[in-house]
Amino acid sequence: MDFATLIGLLGAILLIVTAVVLGAAPGVFLNGASLLIVVGGSLLVVLAKFSIPQFLGAFKAAARAFKFKLPEIQTSIEELVDVANVARKEGVLGLEGRELSSPFLGKGIQMLVDGQPGDTIKQLLDKERLMTLEHNRSGAKVFTAMGDVAPAMGMIGTLIGLVQMLSNMEDPKSIGPAMAVALLTTLYGAMIATMLAGPIADKLTLRMTEEARLQMLYTDALVAIQQGTNPRVIEQMLSSYLPPNKRDKAPEAEAASG
């Protein structure tokens, strides 16, 4: 479960709802027609920009991003050092049937077992990484589009409300409330863009970048294993993927033991 997004989104929405409920006239803030224009209109316009599978896939991707976590870089490095040790002692055939934390890694190790050359492994895994990245990007793009379209639909709703109000100003007392309602769609649009679509698009982009980095780590390791590199050297090489503060310890320990 991704707690940062959960706490962040729920907390921010709760904050705004509380401010509205404790303030004057909370009932004014809920308006069915305004909601329909902004939420319905934005969903329909965004649907028009993609294909139906991409549109639905984005929501599935978002749900998946909240539920499953990627393995830690540290854990993956340890798994790969294990793999390298086995390959060193028993040969690559010793890796057959091994349970692995990722299907991408599994595909790479199968190529290793099949005795494919390092260049081919690198080329095929690079292609796979880039195609996965491009595919995942469409999930983030749906929510980015939502973040662009929702404020525009909000402005369209407000303009409609203003035109209606301005062409009908007999009763001066009705002007204020009519304008309040007209502003609601702009508020909805801003909230959807800032507090929902934006964070989800950014989280999906972050996750897809991290997944691609993990796949680059797997590829580096598999090519090194195929070339018979010393597992200790592989570990040092992969330590670049760790954040600098964790990474700095490794080389010193390495130097001490070296």
Least CB distance to a second copy at residue 226 (A): 16
- Cβ pair 222, 68 in contact under 8 A: no
Tell me how crowded residue 195 is: count the other CB atoms within 10 A of its CB.
16
Q: Which stretch binds a second copy (CB under 8 A): 50-58, 75-83, 84-92?
A: 50-58
**Do 186 and 157 form a contact (C-beta atoms < 8 A)?**
yes
The number of residues that bind a second copy (CB under 8 A) is: 94
Smallest gap from residue 110 Cβ to a second copy (A): 5
128 binds a second copy (CB under 8 A): yes
Instruction: Candidates 21, 30, 44, 63: give the one binding a second copy (CB under 8 A).
Output: 44
Give yes or no for residue 93 binding a second copy (CB under 8 A).
Answer: no
Residues 139-168 that bind a second copy (CB under 8 A): 145, 149, 152-153, 155-157, 159-160, 162-164, 166-168
Task: Return the H-helix or E-strand segment holding 39.
Answer: none
The three-state secondary structure class of 8 is helix
252 in contact with a second copy (CB under 8 A): yes
Q: Is 36 in the site for a second copy (CB under 8 A)?
A: yes
Structure tokens at 153: 């639909």
Going residue by residue from 103 to 122, which x/- string records binding to a second copy, judged by CB under 8 A? Answer: x--xx--x---x--------
SS3 call for 172: helix
Cβ-contact 31, 184 below 8 angstroms: yes
d(CA 256, CA 156): 67
Residues 186-225: x where in contact with a second copy by CB under 8 A, - otherwise, as a string: xx--xx-xxx--xx--xx--x------x------------
